[in-house]
Copies of this chain bind each other. A is one copy, B any other.
Amino acid sequence: MGGHFSRFLGRHLVCELHGISPGLLRDKELLRNILLRAAEASGSTVVGDYFYKFEGDMGVTGVVVVAESHLSIHTWPEYGYAAVDVFTCGTHTDPWRALELLRDELKPERVEVTEMTRGVLEQPQQLAERIGLLALGSQVDSRVAHPGVRHGLRGGAGAVLRED
C-alpha cells in the first residue's frame, strides 16, 4: 500500500539564482543556448522554445517546451537575479542535471531550490477515504493538500513514478 504515497508524474525545481553577472542576464541568445543545453542535460526532448528580450538594460524571459514539461528563465539584471524553473516528467529525466549546467554557466553566488512533486496520483486522504478510514468530502484536499515540497541545494531523486 505504501506505493500509493509515492506515485507522481513529475519533478519541478523552483530555483532562485542570485548574484549573477548582469551582462549574462541581458544576453538572450546566450540564455537560450544555455537553457536548450540544460534541457538536453536533464534527458528531456525539446519541442519548441520562445525567448524575449526586454528593452534597453532590462532582462530576458524565455521558455523551452520539452516533451517532458518545460524549463523557464526570467532575469532581472538590476538585481543579478534569475528565476529558473525546471519541470521534467518520467524516470528517464533528472532536472538536477539541468540545474548543474545552469550553475556552471551562470555562476550564481547563491542558489535556492525547492523541489516540488507534480501530479501526485494518490494522496494520504484519498487513500484513507478509499479504505474507509475517513468520511470526508473531496474538498478537504483543496485546503490541506500540498504537492510535496522539499528544500535543498541538492535533493536527489526522491520517489519515482511507479505502477502498482
Chain A residues proximal to chain B, CB less than 8 Å: 9-10, 12, 14, 16, 19, 47-50, 52, 54, 61-63, 65, 67, 69-70, 72, 74, 76, 79, 81, 83, 85, 87, 89, 109-112, 114, 116, 118-121, 138-139, 141-147, 149, 151-153
Contact = CB atoms under 8 A, between A and B. Distances in A.
A65 B83 contact: no
The 5 A-B pairs with the shortest beta carbon distances in the complex, nearest first, are: A112-B145, A48-B50, A63-B63, A142-B153, A146-B151
7 contacts: A10-B83, A14-B14, A48-B50, A52-B65, A69-B83, A79-B121, A114-B146
Given A63-B50, A114-B147, A83 B74 contact: no
Main secondary structure of the interface of A (DSSP, over half): strand
Contact of A153 (B50, B111, B143): B143
Given A12-B83, A63-B65, 5 more contacts: A14-B118, A83-B118, A85-B87, A109-B138, A114-B147
